[in-house]
């Protein structure tokens, strides 16, 4: 570096007259250019900072109202030719929906779509009375069967049970051929393997039936059928709706309220491998549960935590809400099973937000105790979370409950969702735990400012279709893209006329066949 300088000095001494003036002008030009670039850079930095600051100004008052719809509204009605189900189907489809309430809900949507794909008659889906819930309510115990069948009459034929067959003067229930479908099976599997067995045996039984049909299907009408099932046909029984509305009305009688799905239960913590924050005894319980229920993997807490794979603790949830701007008068409904670690983890959250409720604390106590066990309790929590002014999931990874509620709220009118970015928040919380708390709330606000808060947004993997059915199940009255145009107002009348013609033609065909048979 010194040599370079000396070389420059030698060159400067050798320059004289016009050459020296030219060198000075050249250096001056370079200085002006550098100054200009620095000015531009400074302006860009200031402009960028201003933009970030504006985006971080999260208004709590605005969050209590639905997100901006941007001209979109929910619509799952067909927008192209959608013939009614044929009078003569290819056979009967039975399915057993395993998992919890919302995993089963997705499976029911897939079952209806599978029946449509195969031109099959769907037998009312079976709900697994699994070991976790210890609940055998079944489809009829949870959902309004009559409404379910009627709402889907333009899409598939549905019966409550397999018919009986006669053989040698004796009647017996038709037996369905059992098949284990591939996970996330493509449409082609249903139109080949499954359909072939259905035609051979008259009925097939698909079990288990969780995640057995691919979510991403490049045919919008099939995706809209899923939305018709999920958001229109699947309606809880009257007593569940009544109980849920009673809780919502009581909570809302004192103003706005938010619902939080606090996923801090034993099964999720064991699945995530987040053990180190618990006592040695609690860690042993989680390790045992993981060994008995999940695949063996070497999961390191520090690594999982750093990339946002651990469920938020109750205290972290409270700190996020305080950083956004919610105060301790905020009313919060907690939808959760039994929290692992109990009051030790809830105490810091309760100190930040003392007005916490759940379905057991909002009376009448006797009726709630009787109706909120197992799948029924999950159904009540689902409805309260759907109807709350704000919904916040604390762990939306493999949580079917949170994913389905978010999707339903989006369809229900872009109702506000506070969805923490755990990956972005993890280093902020780790710094705080290590004593580096300066700028903590600003950092949380910056991370949270990037969430869409329930507005329309593009679905990006790993986001599920059941979490975000935009744009397939939405439309615009004045669209730029013709594919987004809302269906005509008389779409139900058109479908009804098509169904009536199909039924009339079917009756005429049956009558003609009977006449031909009699005349023989």
Mean pLDDT of the chain: 84
39-49: per-residue pLDDT in tens? 333 333 333 33
In this predicted structure, what is the pLDDT of residue 26?
A: 46
Percent of the chain past pLDDT 70, that is, above it, reads 81
Encoding tokens for residue 244? 């849920």
Tokens of 299: 């999961």
Output the pLDDT for position 156: 98
Task: Tell me the pTM.
Answer: 0.82
Nearest CA to 387 among 236, 262, 263, 245? Answer: 245
Higher pLDDT, residue 18 or 163? 163
**Rounded-to-integer distance, Cα 345 and Cα 334, Å:** 14
Helix runs in 294-339, H state only: 301-306, 314-324
Distance between CA atoms of residues 378 and 240, nearest Å: 10
pLDDT in tens, 436-453: 989 999 999 999 988 889
Q: Which helix (H) or strand (E) covers residue 122, if one does?
A: strand 121-123
User: Which letter does DSSP use for residue 394 in this model?
Assistant: S
Domain residue ranges in the chain: 92-233, 238-476
Q: Among residues 102, 97, 100, 99, which one has the least CA distance to residue 112?
A: 97
* pLDDT of res. 5: 34
Supply the pLDDT for residue 363. 60
- Give start and end residues of each alpha helix (H) in 388-490: 400-411, 422-433, 440-448
- pLDDT per position as a tens digit, 229-240: 999 999 999 989
| pLDDT of 421 strictly over 80 | yes
pLDDT: which is higher, 364 or 164? 164
Distance CA 472, CA 113 (A): 15
Give the distance from CA 214 to its chain's centroid. Answer: 15
Q: How far is it, in rounded angstroms, from Cα 133 to Cα 124? A: 21
pLDDT of the residue at 365 = 56
Q: Region 353-381: what's the mean pLDDT?
A: 75
What's the DSSP call for residue 176? Answer: P
Per-residue model confidence (pLDDT) at position 520: 35
Residue 72, pLDDT above cutoff 80: yes
Tell me the pLDDT tens digit for each residue of 240-274: 999 999 999 999 999 999 999 999 999 999 999 98
Cα–Cα distance list, 83 to 75, 88, 89 (Å): 18, 14, 13
Residues 282-300 have a mean pLDDT of: 91
Closest to 290 measured CA to CA, from 301, 381, 335, 343: 301
Q: Look at residue 506 in the predicted model and tell me its pLDDT.
A: 58
| pLDDT at position 438 | 93
Write out the E strands in 162-243. 164-167, 170-173, 177-179, 203-206
Strands 203-206 and 92-97 come out as parallel
pLDDT of 212 > 90? The answer is: yes
Whether residue 51 has pLDDT greater than 50: no
The pLDDT score that the predictor gives to residue 497 is 85
Q: How far is CA 132 from the centre of its chain?
A: 22
Give the mean model confidence (pLDDT) for residues 86-110.
93
Q: 135 pLDDT band (50/70/90 cuts)?
A: low
């Amino acid at each position: 570096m010194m040599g370079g300088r000396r070389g420059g000095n030698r060159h400067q001494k050798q320059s004289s007259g016009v050459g020296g003036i030219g060198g000075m002008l050249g250096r001056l030009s370079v200085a002006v250019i550098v100054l200009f670039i620095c000015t531009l850079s400074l302006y860009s930095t200031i402009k960028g900072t201003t933009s970030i600051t504006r985006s971080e100004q999260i208004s709590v008052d605005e969050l209590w109202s639905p997100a901006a719809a941007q001209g979109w509204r929910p619509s799952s009605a067909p927008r192209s030719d959608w013939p009614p189900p044929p009078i003569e189907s290819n056979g009967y489809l039975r399915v057993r929906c395993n998992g919890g309430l919302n995993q089963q809900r997705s499976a029911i949507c897939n079952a209806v779509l599978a029946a449509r794909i195969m031109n099959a008659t769907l037998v009312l889906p079976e709900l697994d009375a699994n070991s976790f819930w210890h609940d055998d309510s079944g489809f009829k115990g949870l959902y309004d069967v009559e409404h379910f069948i009627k709402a889907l009459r333009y899409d598939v034929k549905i019966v409550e049970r397999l018919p009986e067959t006669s053989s040698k003067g004796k009647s017996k229930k038709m037996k369905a051929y059992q098949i284990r479908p591939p996970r996330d099976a493509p449409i082609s599997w249903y139109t080949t393997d499954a359909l072939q067995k259905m035609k051979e045996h008259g009925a097939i039984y698909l079990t288990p039936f969780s995640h057995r049909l691919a979510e991403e299907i490049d045919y919008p009408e099939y995706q809209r059928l899923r939305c018709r099932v999920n958001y229109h046909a699947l309606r809880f029984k009257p007593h569940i709706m009544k109980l849920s509305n009673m809780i919502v009305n009581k909570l809302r009688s004192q103003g706005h309220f938010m619902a939080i799905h606090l996923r801090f239960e034993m099964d999720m913590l064991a699945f995530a491998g987040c053990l180190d924050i618990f006592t040695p005894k609690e860690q042993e319980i989680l390790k045992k549960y993981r060994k008995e229920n999940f695949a063996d993997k070497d999961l390191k807490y520090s690594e999982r935590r750093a990339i946002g794979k651990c469920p938020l603790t109750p205290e972290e949830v409270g700190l996020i809400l305080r950083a956004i701007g919610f105060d301790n008068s905020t009313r919060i409904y907690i939808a959760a099973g039994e929290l692992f670690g109990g009051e030790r983890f809830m105490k810091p959250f309760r100190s930040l937000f003392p007005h916490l409720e759940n379905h057991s604390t909002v009376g009448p106590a006797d009726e709630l105790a009787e109706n909120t066990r197992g799948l029924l309790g999950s159904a009540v929590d689902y409805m309260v979370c759907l109807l709350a002014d704000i919904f916040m999931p604390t762990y939306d990874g493999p949580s079917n409950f949170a994913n389905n509620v978010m999707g339903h709220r989006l369809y229900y009118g872009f109702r506000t969702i506070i969805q923490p970015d755990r990956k972005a928040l993890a280093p902020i919380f780790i710094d705080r735990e290590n004593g580096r708390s300066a700028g903590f709330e600003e950092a949380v606000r910056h991370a949270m400012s990037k969430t869409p808060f329930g507005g329309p947004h593009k679905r990006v993997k790993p986001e599920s279709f059941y979490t975000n059915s935009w744009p397939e199940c939405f439309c615009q009255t004045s669209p730029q893209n013709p594919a987004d145009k809302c269906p005509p107002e008389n779409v139900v009348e058109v479908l009804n006329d098509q169904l009536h013609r199909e039924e009339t033609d079917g009756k005429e065909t049956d009558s003609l066949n009977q006449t031909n048979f009699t005349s023989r």
